[in-house]
Amino acid sequence: MVQDAVGGEGRQWAAGPAFWREVFDHLGAGLAVVDSSGLIVAVNPAAEELLGRTAGVMVGEDFHDLLHRRTDGTVVPREECPLLAALALGIPARGGGGGFLRGDGQLLPVVWSGAPVARGGCRVGMTVLFARTTVGREASEDRASRVTALEDLTGRMALVAEISAILAQTLDTEETLSRLGRFLVPRLTDWAAIDLRVEGEVRRVAVTGPEDRDAEREAWQGTLPAVVEHSRSPLVRVLHGGEAVLLGPGEIAAPPDSALAAVQAGFLQSLGATSAVTVPLGTARQVTGALTLVRTGTARPFDAADLALAGDMGRRVGLAIDNARLFGRQREIAEAMQRNLLASLPQPGPLRLAARYQPAPVGSQVGGDWYDAFPLRDGATALVIGDVVGHDLAAAAGMAQLHGMLRALAWDRTRPPSAIVDRLDDAIPAITSVPMATLVLARVEGPESGPWRLRWTSAGHPPPLLATPDGHAEYLEQGQSLLLGARLGGGRLDATAPLPPGSTLLLYTDGLVEVRGTDLDTGLGRLRRHAAALARRPLEEFCDQVLARMSSGSTDDIALLALRVPD
């Protein structure tokens, strides 16, 4: 029914079926969606009928040049067009007194209303709703009534589009509901409450109201009484899969017939509710919870159009919550698998080892970061830090494959780190599904009484950091070679460096130093300063403090491995 967007991924928001439901269900008016440059992205069937043009003919054309005309049929200069001005400024606009040019050359007198559409905080275009208007003595009254209807629907469409953007911004359920509540109040409602089914019970997880009445919210949050079958309470019916419910003063004041109904009645009455809407989150087959919107004034009670809009929001919110829960379960599995695959650390003689693994924040995916340390046959100790490309279960599984292969090769061959990593690189395409990975493989060599020496190679990984007790820290930038999987040929390089008494060697993954909004050099500089300042702290405290000071703002997994040389 709808001609989809052309010319770019950034306009696909105009083709979603839910986006058009409000137009098709509530207004028999023409609809055109234009992008930020004024090109037509999509039109609805009513627009095709009114304009006598097919969607295929109109999509991709300049809306103003193709359609907008004065009452005498002449072209409206672009600099005089209120619609183009509103598009450039990102503000609503309306107009009448002119017309749109039909495909048969006739001028269609119209009244129109335009509203900007934003996605992710950026303006992406405008919706233009229009309808045929009359001429003569009743033209003014007819135009005013149609403009009012168009503006009302345009506002609802913009609201739905922004809600969709909010729900797509994060997979953290708590953050999603918090953002939703702050958006709805006061745009659509005076108060909003969200109840979720959680582990066999219903909990009121969010209540949002006017900013100056925040203290009242906490009293109404928490576990609600059990949902009983016999209750006729609107909230109970909705939680049982019933339709959305519109409540006026009579329904709000009705005596409750269950404990849950009594809580809901007390909530509404305590707010001074005069009108309310309760809608299911999700669908009748899979109800995740309920959304209740409350208005406290008498001038603007909810109506059937508000009920339909709230119902659409409920479906969207329910889907977002289900997706977040599913993602959370998958993430827990991946994180547990990743933690279980990270080896326990040896404590080789007087050397001390410590490690930390921190999964990515909620809303991000588990990655392939890993560390390892193990004794070798010749008495040296192997240290490994690595990162498999990807942020999913496949990356975590690839990490496990590399972990096992590298251990076997390092134990089997008393060879320099570069030779072992070269052999690993040769085997990866034949034995694993890992596309690319980075790592550092190092040998800590020396008699038990010292002195100690580090021999290492780096396959495209951030350089090791060596901090000494005098507060000096430097990156060991030698031994750099191509990452695993590049397959560009050429042998890898080894590097060596002494490990002074009391020094701390730190191996880490890029999540520790890469933060959105800053460059890599800034992150490396911060890490060097913190490591130098913490160099004399006990090793466990050193790791904790480095992680705490560096990980704020990171959206990636972080692994770090630290070695302390005895004084």
Report which residue type is found at 303.
D
Q: What is the pLDDT of residue 383?
A: 96
Q: Distance (Å, rounded) from C-alpha 496 to C-alpha 460?
A: 17
- pLDDT for 180 beyond 60: yes
Q: Distance (Å, rounded) from C-alpha 69 to C-alpha 101?
A: 7
Strongest mean pLDDT among 404-408, 426-430, 541-545: 541-545
Fold designation for 342-565: Phosphatase 2c; domain 1 (3.60.40)
Radius of gyration of the chain (CA): 32
Q: Distance (Å, rounded) from C-alpha 44 to C-alpha 47?
A: 5
Residue 121, SS3 per DSSP? coil
**Quick one: CA dihedral 302, 303, 308, 311, positive or negative?**
positive
- Please report, for the chain, the start and end positions of each structural domain, with discontinuous segments joined by +: 18-168, 173-331, 342-565
Tell me if 173-331 shares its fold with 342-565.
no
Contacts of 121 (CB under 8 A, 6+ apart): none
Q: What is the pLDDT of residue 337?
A: 55
Q: What is the pLDDT of residue 474?
A: 97
- pLDDT for 566 beyond 80: yes
Length of the chain: 567
Whether 273 and 294 have beta carbons less than 8 Å apart is answered as yes
Q: What is the pLDDT of residue 150?
A: 47
Strongest mean pLDDT among 53-67, 296-310, 540-554: 53-67
Q: Please write the tens of the pLDDT for every residue from 459-518.
A: 999 999 999 999 999 999 999 998 988 766 667 899 999 999 999 999 999 989 987 777
Strands (E), 186-274: 191-198, 201-208, 222-223, 245-247
Q: 489 exposed, middle or buried (CB, 10 Å; 0-12, 13-18, 19+)?
A: exposed
Residue 364: closest CA among 553, 524, 170: 170
Q: How confident is the model at residue 345 (pLDDT cuts 50, 70, 90)?
A: confident
Q: Please write the tens of the pLDDT for every residue from 365-392.
A: 555 788 999 999 999 999 999 988 765 5
Q: Please write the tens of the pLDDT for every residue from 422-462.
A: 999 988 888 887 888 999 999 999 998 889 999 999 999 99
Q: What is the pLDDT of residue 385?
A: 95
Superfamily name with CATH number, domain 18-168: PAS domain (3.30.450.20)
Q: What is the pLDDT of residue 499?
A: 97
Most distant CA pair in the chain, distance: 105
Q: How confident is the model at residue 9 (pLDDT cuts 50, 70, 90)?
A: very low
Q: Distance (Å, rounded) from C-alpha 505 to C-alpha 418?
A: 19
Q: How confident is the model at residue 209 (pLDDT cuts 50, 70, 90)?
A: confident
Q: Distance (Å, rounded) from C-alpha 267 to C-alpha 272?
A: 9
pTM: 0.49
Q: What is the pLDDT of residue 265?
A: 92
Whether 240 and 287 have beta carbons less than 8 Å apart is answered as yes
Token duo for residue 9: 């991924």
Q: How confident is the model at residue 300 (pLDDT cuts 50, 70, 90)?
A: confident
Q: How confident is the model at residue 307 (pLDDT cuts 50, 70, 90)?
A: confident
Look at strands 201-208 and 191-198 and give their pairing. antiparallel
Q: What is the pLDDT of residue 288?
A: 83
Whether 111 and 130 have beta carbons less than 8 Å apart is answered as yes
Mean pLDDT, all residues of the chain: 81
Q: What is the pLDDT of residue 476?
A: 97
Section 12-39 average pLDDT: 66
Q: Distance (Å, rounded) from C-alpha 173 to C-alpha 324?
A: 6
Section 548-555 average pLDDT: 79
Q: In the block, which residue shows the tokens 């108060």? A: 191
Q: What is the pLDDT of residue 287?
A: 83
Percent of the chain with pLDDT over 90: 35
Look at strands 368-375 and 452-459 and give their pairing. unpaired
Q: Distance (Å, rounded) from C-alpha 54 to C-alpha 45?
A: 9
Dihedral class, residue 241 (left if φ above 0, else alpha if ψ from -120 to 50, else beta): left
Section 12-32 average pLDDT: 57
Q: How confident is the model at residue 147 (pLDDT cuts 50, 70, 90)?
A: very low
Q: Distance (Å, rounded) from C-alpha 566 to C-alpha 501?
A: 6
Residue 101: closest CA among 71, 129, 69, 77: 69
Section 394-407 average pLDDT: 79
Q: CATH second-level architecture of 173-331?
A: 2-Layer Sandwich (3.30)
Q: What is the pLDDT of residue 93?
A: 84
Section 184-206 average pLDDT: 84
